[in-house]
A and B are shown apart, each in its own frame.
Chain A
């Protein structure tokens, strides 16, 4: 990264999404290696948990979801360089709004559809009524 860009970063106190505050190569490389290591660890745990009999079975879906969210966090921090720093506020706010919509869509769909499944008569009875 050139001197000019480094200067720009410290002048503006704002970062583009995906840009890092760190400009030296060594620490940046180490950041990616740490991210890769954590991601491999979490992925391996997910695949192990999914096929094992060692843990209480109903806990497996919850564990998988938690591991997936943790790994997405690892990707966001180490690969996309989204941080809680003040130079990243706009990026985090946009992300937070996106996540709000995602949770509304997924959670709302599951909630409504399970309610409808619960309250609707079984299909064969509906067919009987239409006759």
Chain B
């Protein structure tokens, strides 16, 4: 099939939509592996966000079911939450710097940015662990009320994701150290960056809905 049989092709492609011309010419082939991998991981992340939305819905429904126990306003320490937010936001930023360093194949800056990202993530986890153990010590553990069960499930699930992210981060540092910036390693790096940024997006929802809205009750 030639271009002349398709009237669309004659007008060029001012918005770079590609579609029809790719169909007509037929030699573009499937998308590159980098796009396919990252797109599949993007869909996984969206399904993860849907899972979190169920926990958010449970928390919102159970917010006032404290069974005579303490409510969010009496439990939450907003200064600790602000510190956790700062750690996670900065780690998202340094993760972005690591992606740039990986794209320009600068191993030293990459390892430095990834190390800072991991340390900030560990700081976040340490603060969260301290908060959880403090709550349990005050008799406000997950078994105290429906509200606290929902709280620990939601925030703990995010904490588990961050822990898994840190393990993945260490793996990526080791892989780049041992094997360099190979194409398959760079695809994993892209997925890791997506994962880490998505965790920060979920944390935005958590500190707004769980802590700031929850402490108002």
Interface residues on chain B, size class:
35 or more
Which positions 44-74 of chain B face chain A at CB distance < 8 Å?
46-47, 49-50, 53-54, 56-58, 60-61
Given A8-B32, A46-B212, A101-B50, A79-B100 contact (CB < 8 Å): no
Q: A29: nearest residue on chain B (CB-CB)? A: B100
Residues of chain A contacted by B90 (CB below 8 angstroms): 36
Residues of chain A lying within 8 A (CB to CB) of residue B215: 50
Tell me whether chain A's interface is mostly helix, strand or loop, or mixed.
Answer: helix
A-B contact count (CB 8 A): 143
Q: Which of A13, A23, A79 is within 8 Å of B197, CB to CB?
A: A79
Secondary structure of the B side of the interface? helix
Evaluate contact between B93 and A72: CB separation under 8 angstroms: no
Pairwise interchain contact A17-B100, C-beta atoms closer than 8 A = no
Interfacial chain B residues near A80, Cβ < 8 Å:
194, 197-198, 201
Q: Which of B17, B42, B54, B103 is in CB contact (< 8 Å) with A17?
A: B42
Which residues of B approach A to under 8 Å, CB–CB? Answer: 15-18, 28, 31-32, 34-35, 37-39, 41-43, 46-47, 49-50, 53-54, 56-58, 60-61, 78, 82, 85, 89-90, 92-93, 96-97, 99-100, 103-105, 190, 193-194, 197-198, 200-201, 204-205, 207-209, 212-213, 215-216
27 contacts between A and B (CB under 8 A): A2-B105, A16-B37, A17-B39, A17-B194, A18-B190, A25-B104, A46-B207, A47-B78, A47-B82, A50-B78, A50-B212, A51-B78, A61-B216, A64-B208, A68-B209, A71-B204, A75-B92, A80-B194, A86-B16, A87-B16, A101-B50, A105-B53, A106-B53, A109-B60, A109-B61, A110-B61, A113-B61
